[in-house]
Amino acid sequence: MAEDLSEEIKKRVKEETVISDLTYELRSGEPDFIDKLVAATYGNMACDCLEEGTHGVMMAVVNGCFARMPIPDPKLGPRTVDLASMYNIERLRPNYAGKTGFRFF
């Protein structure tokens, strides 16, 4: 479906698109409610950008809120993850401890 939308955007508005696999594919599970909610919201926000003629932005969650953010300059290089705080290296899993009060959205 994403590929079809991408092709249609290229055809109609002559804009390049980026198709990004969702997180659930990385964890090899079926998409849950949150996966579907985020994907549908990002898709609708992207369509709003197309209708408005907004370019150079990506959809994101910032401080718990959906937002449009500038696409990072590739010259800045890849983003990094603080493995010590976000990942349990022994269990090869994200760190789930200490999440009480953690803002998800």
- Which tens digits make up the pLDDT trace of 48-58? 999 999 999 99
Domain annotation covers residue 80: no
**Structural domain contains residue 46:** yes
Residue 99 lies in a domain: no
The answer to whether residue 61 is domain-embedded is yes
Structural domain boundaries, residue 12: 2-71
Distance CA 21, CA 29 (A): 13
Residue 100 counted as domain residue: no
Instruction: Give the span between the Cα atoms of 38 and 8, in whole angstroms.
Output: 22
* Two tokens, residue 79: 């983003």
Domain for residue 16, yes or no?
yes
Instruction: Give the whole-number percent of the chain exceeding pLDDT 90.
Output: 31
Rounded to two decimals, the pTM is: 0.61
Q: How many domains does the chain have?
A: 1
Q: How many other CB atoms are there within 10 angstroms of residue 59's CB atom?
A: 19
DSSP 31-81: --HHHHHHHHHHHHHHHHHHHHT--SEEEEEETTEEEEEEPPPGGG-----
Average of per-residue pLDDT across 7-24: 79
Residue 101 lies in a domain: no
